[in-house]
Amino acid sequence: MSYFSEIYNGIKTLLTGMSVTGKYFLNARKGVITQQYPDNRETLKMFDRFRGEVIMPHDDQNEHRCTGCQKCEIACPNGTIEIIWDRGIDEETGKKKKKIDQFVYHLSLCTMCGLCIDVCPTDAIEWGQNFENSVFDRTHLTRVLNKPGSKLAPGVED
Ligand code: SF4
Ligand code: SF4
């Protein structure tokens, strides 16, 4: 008896799967299923919660919001972030102030856990939408997130 019930269950499971496939097949022309990647590169936008990579936004004046506090570096569970910092003169106060030299991000180590972004007190880093991160040389996955010549935006404190 179990022999026949197993055959019945097998056919039932097969038909269930095929009905789902059939629905998508019949609706394929409505364009709701397949993204024509990479032809749609110019217009493709990932969903808002997409975690492609950690980025550091800069404004029109080439200013960022990273104070070099290193909270993200400490929070990262696997050493993905390295903050290389120095002390410079604060233009407003004339006193010495910590500043980043390089914010190094090893994308190949990043698990996209988001702890660094959560812990940042100044919202200096966020998720980027880029997902085309295949490279032939893995050293290209190590990036400096602060742009050359950039500096801390005025008024940003820890
Ligand atoms: S990104 Fe945020 S948490 Fe990390 S060093 Fe800069 S200010 Fe601090
Ligand atoms: S997302 Fe997670 S693993 Fe990636 S740099 Fe931030 S804390 Fe580290």
Could you read off the pLDDT of 1-46 as tens digits, one per residue? 688 999 999 999 999 999 988 888 887 666 566 678 888 888 888 8
Selection from 108, 133, 150, 124 nearest residue 50 by Cα: 133
Q: Do 144 and 111 belong together in one domain?
A: yes
Side-chain half-sphere CA neighbours of 85 within 13 A: 17
Determine contact, residues 105/145, Cβ cutoff 8 Å: yes
Looking at the CA of 71, name the nearest ligand: 1
Q: What is the pLDDT of residue 1?
A: 65
More confident residue, 71 or 98: 71
DSSP H or E segment with residue 98: strand 96-106
pLDDT tens profile 106-148: 999 999 999 999 999 999 999 999 999 999 999 999 999 999 9
| CATH number of 48's domain | 3.30.70.3270
Bridge partners of 33, per DSSP, are none
The verdict on residue 157 lying in a domain is no
Report whether pLDDT(158) > 90.
no
Q: Do 29 and 72 belong together in one domain?
A: no
The verdict on residue 115 lying in a domain is yes
Report whether pLDDT(57) > 80.
yes
Looking at the CA of 75, name the nearest ligand: 2
Tell me how far the alpha carbon of residue 111 lies from the centroid of ligand 2, in angstroms.
6
Q: What is the pLDDT of residue 92?
A: 74
Tell me how far the alpha carbon of residue 150 lies from the centroid of ligand 1, in angstroms.
15
Q: Do 46 and 26 belong together in one domain?
A: no
Q: Do 78 and 28 belong together in one domain?
A: no
The verdict on residue 158 lying in a domain is no
Q: For the residues 140-158, what does the mean pLDDT come to? A: 92
The verdict on residue 119 lying in a domain is yes
Determine contact, residues 74/120, Cβ cutoff 8 Å: no
Domain count across the chain? 2
* Whole-number Å distance between alpha carbons of 65 and 57: 8
Tell me how far the alpha carbon of residue 123 lies from the centroid of ligand 1, in angstroms.
8
- Note down the domain range covering 15: 2-33
Q: What is the pLDDT of residue 106?
A: 98
Give yes or no for residue 107 CB within 6 A of ligand 2.
no
Residue of the CA atom closest to atom 3 of ligand 1: 120
Burial of 124 (0-12, 13-18, 19+ CB in 10 A): buried
Q: Do 49 and 14 belong together in one domain?
A: no
* Whole-number Å distance between alpha carbons of 22 and 76: 45
